[in-house]
Structure 1
Amino acid sequence: MTAKTIYDHGLDRNPANFQPLTPLTFLERTATVFPDHVAVIYGSLRRSYRDFYARTRRLASALAARGIGRGDTVAVMLPNTPPLIECHYGVPMTGAVLNTLNTRLDAAMIASFLDHGEAKVLITDREFARVIKPALAHAKVRPLVIDYDDPEFSGEGERLGSLDYEAFLASGDPAHAWSLPGNERDAITLNYTSGTTGDPKGVVYDHRGACLQAVGNVVTTGLGKHPVYLWTLPMFHCNGWCFSWTLSVVAGTHVCLRQVRAKAVYDAIADHGVTHLCGAPVVMQLLLNAPAAERRALPHPVSFVVGGAPPPEAVLAGMAEAGFDVTHVYGLTETYGPAVVNEWHADWDALTKPEQAARKARQGVRYPPLEALDVLDPKTMRPVPADGQTVGEVMFRGNVVMRGYLKNPKATEEAFRGGWFHSGDLGVKHPDGYLQLKDRLKDTIISGGENIWSIEVEEALFKHPAVADAGVVGKPDEKWGEAVCAFVERKNGFEMVSAEELIDWCRQSLASYKVPKHVFFTKLPKNSTGKTNKVQLREMGKAL
């Protein structure tokens, strides 16, 4: 037991010096300090912080009037439109938990999520009626369904509920007196990882972690005051990496995009003075490959925060030439989105291009709100040497790690084994403390007893000027157990590049056992979050 000191007497926590951390107070403050500043831009819509805050309170009031309160789940099936931002505040203002559904999933998966989260309310855009209708028919729960009729949506879509979103808001009180959470560890959102229908993993975020991550984004990405943020990252993905709350910290402007198209992105940047955006590498490819007619000169340098695999050197160069300043981050749904950033050092600018590329290929160091990040031996739980060679599992510890998996104590216990969150990612630690991913545990290729990291082979392929995208998996092999199999998308104008040429290219930089034995040209399948679907690639490899 820790001995008491003079500071342990008469200095107890009380309401004057302790309040639960929550990102909801950021909106209240900004609406008070900058009530007329533009909070949301969408098409012809311009909405001030005064109106934005009033609408979130209306939503909270209307939900509370229908009995929604602490621990109830409110699911939403919405694209990156204003109501989805409003739900990030209005839902937790009641104590309820927001479940943002992935708009790319099928009806069976959505039904399983509605049931697992025990959704009491479902707010859905009518564009998704074709998926939501069978999902509701298949689900056991019977949530209150509220339809959103987006004036910017010109397509068809059946109305599934008896309530309209705008009418629902109109029934609420714009001066609704919402309260802070009783406990900062109360759940604020529920996010599902990709998984099977029978075994969903619902990642639970709390108010404390969301608050700290929101502020961490400000520091890490250098937002400054009044940034203009373009929503190219799906808000259903880790709650938009918590930028849904971050913008309220700095009185920023949300520029909503219903669909991410190159012309729409360039137009938004030029017309609204966008300063920041986030996304996967596929968004960078979209912008760089846009025809000249869809592109517009950037009015100023624009910060692009990219998650996922490190972008190839050619892509980084193209983004810089186009006027984008790229910051590479890494994280998981279980870490509130990005929790690692490749912090750039000014003296690295003097390095050679290959040396700079090697630095940029690393994932980096921990986010400010993350207490600990390391590469450990998962068996001994000891740190691996910081030699840039010894492979271990990347692990996290801190306040921006999930509370756990909903209704899945076994998976939660395993994820937190040894007092660390086990990411399932394999990596190395360099002498300066920067970590670099090598592979997912499940994606490691074992050929002739040798471990081969698919990311290393993909990096070699990406350096070839003809390669637009690449995915590497293991293909069953009678002699070696598994052989390295590469699936490649060629850039326009490089259709004549052969498999043999790419194999020879890899021999120049990889050990012989790592060189692809098979190269197939195809459009790479993507999962619901835009990442290469390696499960499908492995099935394709078996069939070829």
Structure 2
Amino acid sequence: MASIYDTDLPRTPANYAPMTPLVFIQRTAEVYPNHLAIVHGALRRSWAETYARTRQLASALQKAGIRKNDTVAVMLPNTPPMVEAHFGVPMAGAVLNTLNTRLDPEAVAFMLDHGEAKALIVDPEFASIVKKALPLRQSKAPLLVIDVEDALYGEGEKLGSTTYDAFVATGDPDFEWHLPADEWDAIALNYTSGTTGNPKGVVYHHRGAATNAVSNVLEWDMPKHAVYLWTLPMFHCNGWCFPWTVAARAGVNVCLRRVEAKAIFDAIRQHGVTHYCGAPIVHGLLVNAPAELKEGVPRGVKCMVAGAAPPASMIEGMEEMGFDLTHVYGLTEVYGPATVCAKQDSWAALDIGERARLNARQGVRYHLQRDARVINPETMQPVPMDGETMGEIMFRGNIAMKGYLKNPKATDEAFAGGWFHSGDLAVQYPDGYIKIKDRSKDIIISGGENISSIEVEDVLYRHPAVMAAAVVAKPDPKWGETPCAFVELKPGAEVTAADIVAHCKQHLAGFKVPRAIVFGELPKTSTGKIQKFELRKQAGSAEAIDV
């Protein structure tokens, strides 16, 4: 029998609307139309102008034949077209695929094929990569290529039939876009390396994008009109959902083509930057910058660091500059950060070593994430919160991907038991804070980017002199981690570390190439399996040949 609360109380457009981050820019443009939205070199755009351009982009895409659930890929740095794409593409009902600008042509071609991209927007800086990628596509389906022009970069080779501004101009600035029919509809596609050769396509839904964008506001107590500097690549987990977060707070997007210490400090001074995010390498870049670059930089800038835990030297260096550092943790599958090392007031009185220890933890769940726990993957029960018992970090709630594109097996495995399995091994302390102890996926996080050790190993095995190879993470003061290759040569073979690196450069993106090579017999089990745990022990102190 139906409850009285389920009778004659229908869901209608008057009392229900699908959640989507697209409404954030609509409201901001209505309430703060003249407030600054985008800074890029000499360019200044208000929120009314930015909203109009996103509607034009959506209209132009539909006129060009882009339909609901079509994929629109972009190969862009942190520039205005990238901000606009985060709204204009889903306003057209399409799915945004932000391509990693550091990838090699083979990987780009795979993603264009796998995601079935119907359109591709390209910045001139990456035209050479895309030019090599296009002929490698297996698909024969037509691909609309749109070339961005940017005075801050200069001339670049044109690959498409139109330029970005000309394309946007064909659209209607008053285009009447619609909410997604279902908040479960896809809004974005992001590729993650995983632990096998081909990357997996992580599908985001409108509900998750909206909830994580709002969670970002809550974790930072982010004020209205915050000034956000784009040091974090927007291609990475859609910039941790911050394009939508900044719109929700009617903030300012300060664009940055390249991450350089001088450019960052200049932007902070010139534009009054209040917030920025980045991998440890970005914060380390600022801490270790010459003193003259830091002159006149205001105190109180809030910054987020993800990836490797911030060491005491980084925390101390940021404090000396007057910057407020927050440590977050997450994965592509959970929209970027989904836990935060929420600071307790009592920590301020502790010495730097103890503060570093506490801040190195991955923390507690984001506000709008349902749960984050360390769970025994065999029993699917939470481990004791004793700071010693190992388990796997698992998430559940709205801030979790829709699944892996065209990969039901991987999706089922990832969501087994009603939790998203991160693959990261950790402990949980009595106060509920999580701390990573190891990675079960053999992923190397270098400069905030994931590198599959298996992918690098596959390339090493292609060298005619290599008999066995294994790749693990080696601590690096600049990048957090870099790939360290342990290589066992075939009998009689002679090869140098430089030869191995040159071979890898032919097949891998630059950031995936091993920075250290160790020659010798690899430790193996009785069945011949390479003992990676032994290599991890060696990587921190091995007499590796750095190249």
Q: CA deviation at 1:197?
A: 9.0
Q: 1:365 to 1:170 in 2, by over 3 A?
A: same
Q: Secondary structure at the match of 1:442?
A: coil
Q: Distance in 1 between matches of 2:485 and 2:263?
A: 38
Q: CA deviation at 1:519?
A: 4.3
- 2:310 aligned partner: 311
Q: Secondary structure at the match of 2:317?
A: helix
Q: Distance in 1 between matches of 2:272 and 2:251?
A: 12
Q: Is the 8 A contact 1:221 1:305 kept in 2?
A: no
Q: Is the 8 A contact 1:474 1:484 kept in 2?
A: no
* 1:477 paired residue among 517, 520, 523: 523
Q: Secondary structure at the match of 1:363?
A: coil
- 1:532 aligned partner: none
Q: Which amino acid aligns with 2:327?
A: H
Matched, 1:28 2:8: no
- 1:144 aligned partner: 144
Matched, 1:331 2:317: no
- 1:290 aligned partner: 289
Q: Distance in 1 between matches of 2:255 and 2:148?
A: 15
- 1:104 aligned partner: 102
Q: Deviations over 1:423-475 (max 9, x none)?
A: 01000000111000011113499xxxxxxxx99x96xx97xxxx985669796
TM-score by length of 1: 0.84
Q: CA deviation at 1:54?
A: 0.5
Matched, 1:42 2:40: yes
Q: CA deviation at 1:6?
A: 2.3
* 1:53 paired residue among 46, 51, 54: 51
- 1:492 aligned partner: none
Matching of residues 406-445 of structure 1 within 5 Å: 406-443=405-442
* 2:6 paired residue among 5, 8, 23: 8
Q: Deviations over 1:14-44 (max 9, x none)?
A: 1110001110011010000000000000101
- 2:503 aligned partner: none
Q: Deviations over 1:165-184 (max 9, x none)?
A: 00111111110111111111
Q: Deviations over 1:155-203 (max 9, x none)?
A: x521001111001111111101111111111000000002589633100
Q: 1:197 to 1:115 in 2, by over 3 A?
A: farther
Q: Distance in 2 between matches of 1:197 and 1:138?
A: 20
- 1:505 aligned partner: none
* 2:115 paired residue among 117, 121, 131: 117
Q: Is the 8 A contact 2:280 2:480 kept in 1?
A: no
Q: Which moved more, 1:308-317 or 1:435-444?
A: 435-444
Q: CA deviation at 1:128?
A: 1.1
Q: Distance in 2 between matches of 1:115 and 1:68?
A: 16
Q: Distance in 2 between matches of 1:326 and 1:238?
A: 20
Structure 2 unpaired stretches of 5+: 445-471, 487-521
Q: Distance in 1 between matches of 2:100 and 2:538?
A: 36
Q: Which amino acid aligns with 2:164?
A: Y
Q: Which amino acid aligns with 2:121?
A: I
Q: CA deviation at 1:380?
A: 1.2
- 2:495 aligned partner: none
How many positions carry a matched residue from both structures?
479
Q: Which amino acid aligns with 2:146?
A: I
Q: Which amino acid aligns with 1:13?
A: R
RMSD: 2.4
Matched, 1:518 2:542: yes
Q: Distance in 1 between matches of 2:39 and 2:524?
A: 58
Q: 1:263 to 1:278 in 2, by over 3 A?
A: same
Q: Is the 8 A contact 2:262 2:293 kept in 1?
A: yes
Q: Distance in 2 between matches of 1:478 and 1:168?
A: 58
Matching of residues 9-408 of structure 1 within 5 Å: 9-139=7-137, 140=139, 141-154=141-154, 156-195=155-194, 199-408=198-407
TM-score by length of 2: 0.83
Q: Distance in 2 between matches of 1:260 and 1:483?
A: 34
Q: Which amino acid aligns with 2:25?
A: L
Q: Distance in 2 between matches of 1:297 and 1:323?
A: 12
Q: 1:437 to 1:93 in 2, by over 3 A?
A: same
Q: Secondary structure at the match of 1:27?
A: helix
Q: Which amino acid aligns with 1:274?
A: V
Q: 1:219 to 1:309 in 2, by over 3 A?
A: same
Q: CA deviation at 1:66?
A: 1.3
Q: Is the 8 A contact 1:107 1:131 kept in 2?
A: yes
Q: Which amino acid aligns with 1:177?
A: E
- 2:492 aligned partner: none
Q: Distance in 2 between matches of 1:85 and 1:417?
A: 35
Q: Secondary structure at the match of 1:518?
A: coil
Q: Distance in 2 between matches of 1:67 and 1:517?
A: 57
Q: CA deviation at 1:292?
A: 3.3
Q: Which amino acid aligns with 2:223?
A: G
Q: CA deviation at 1:289?
A: 1.9
Q: Distance in 1 between matches of 2:166 and 2:251?
A: 27
